Structure 1
């Protein structure tokens, strides 16, 4: 009888912990923690923030461009730079002076300006950069600032006591696009490979449209339990963004009115 009671209490405790964890994630309200004319930072979980900067274009005005900051034990890793050195300087200063966290690395998720436009600022601040081998090749071809360290397929880095993964799953928005994954929060940074709900196909100048859906399907299979998904532009959400992107590039859509910059 005592053994049965002990087992029951163990089960109830496990269920309670899971429920509390899920409730905590669901109850967390996104909070704008920093805002200026050129940069916004929004906290979306206890250990993650979206940074949003704005790329001035001739046809579309200021285009909001997302990146992700993940943190643990007073350390952060950043996916995608802000769009230029000025906004990157501002982000770095905010992290160092307000959060008082150490920046362990910056990972551009493809070679366009909305991913590595502020890379020089990170290098000036002696922050190491990491990128997919093809991203480095394309940065060199286009005379952009070149990330310092390369990876062939995937990258695993420590942030505090936790880990992040950057991995290529195939071509889509560009042939070098990778995604970032924060396992402890089941959080995916999809960059421009993943679309916000309701978006059109956007900028296709460097895209592989035929491969795009299959690439996102590979991500969905590899990470089946995602809680949050952050796109390169627009509102974050959950795994529905993966399904939406898969469908978008499986069917014909016209009127490409959602701009994504180079």
Structure 2
């Protein structure tokens, strides 16, 4: 009996240590997989626009918006390419840098832009929309965003493709999905997801780690953490997250955003 107890006493720490090692190794493997998928290389840069390649198919575009409250603010958008086609999330901040982006995608990546998807109605998402509109690039716009743009006296020159809570588009042989999962930064904020590369475009609904609350002029701060929790549940396989401003990261950005606004609501 004593020998059995001694054996168990010696075995339990070993098992615990083994389980810890397995968990740690699994986490490291997941982190390495995420890092391997990321390339994070600047492929275009001018004074007004930076384009970063994130994965084999996804790119981040960064442009700048002059604001009275926050100064010159870097603004993130994203685009996805596959089989000679591209879908763009959010425009750069002005028509000039929107034109730069369109030229880069068409000329350098040899890709046809099949859709523009603004993720909410603020200028950092739609500032360059006239250039897309002028060039006849189809816009897929949530009905909430259309109403807010109309209320703010913006009228599209060409017809838009309206949708309510979700949108599924084909990009070559792959899917791109868009969802409205609740209010937060605005009452119309959308998120986009590219399943092939497990990349989530959170837009201004999602904060980079360490960021403040930002512009709350049109925000629903009470609903915000619940909405991000919905995003987390909807896309459990996401391993790269692009916020509206600041650095990209993993799902820690979702957790940070939830905590930031849960604290606000307590």
Per-residue CA deviations over 1:53-90 (Å, capped at 9, x if unaligned) read 00112343321000001111111100001111111011
User: How many residues get paired?
Assistant: 235
Residue equivalent to 1:55? 65
* Partner Cα distance (1:21, 1:218) in 2: 22
Partner of 2:254: helix, strand, or coil? helix
Partner of 2:262: helix, strand, or coil? coil
Residue 94 of structure 1: which of 96, 104, 120 is its match?
104
Partner of 1:136: helix, strand, or coil? helix
Residue 121 of structure 1: which of 115, 127, 131 is its match?
131
Q: Which has the larger radius of gyration?
A: 2
1:130 aligns with 2:143: no
TM-score (norm 1): 0.86
Query: 1:216-235 to 2 correspondence within 5 Å?
Result: 216-235=228-247
Per-residue CA deviations over 1:82-130 (Å, capped at 9, x if unaligned) read 1111110110011111111110110000000011111110011110001
* Partner Cα distance (1:202, 1:161) in 2: 38
Cα gap change, 1:35 to 1:251, in 2 (>3 Å): same
Residue equivalent to 1:245? 257
CA RMSD of aligned residues (A): 1.9
Show structure 1 runs of 5+ residues with no match.
1-19, 254-262
Query: 1:23-102 to 2 correspondence within 5 Å?
Result: 25-27=34-36, 28-102=38-112
Per-residue CA deviations over 1:5-52 (Å, capped at 9, x if unaligned) read xxxxxxxxxxxxxxx998665234310000000000000101000000
Residue equivalent to 2:150? 140
Conservation of the 8 A alpha-carbon contact between 2:34 and 2:240: no
Residue equivalent to 1:152? 164
Conservation of the 8 A alpha-carbon contact between 1:25 and 1:45: no
Cα deviation for residue 225 of structure 1 reads: 1.5
Partner of 2:47: helix, strand, or coil? coil
* Partner Cα distance (1:72, 1:24) in 2: 21
* Partner Cα distance (2:260, 2:253) in 1: 10
* Partner Cα distance (1:90, 1:30) in 2: 20
Conservation of the 8 A alpha-carbon contact between 1:164 and 1:183: yes
TM-score (norm 2): 0.84
1:214 aligns with 2:226: yes
* Partner Cα distance (1:44, 1:145) in 2: 33
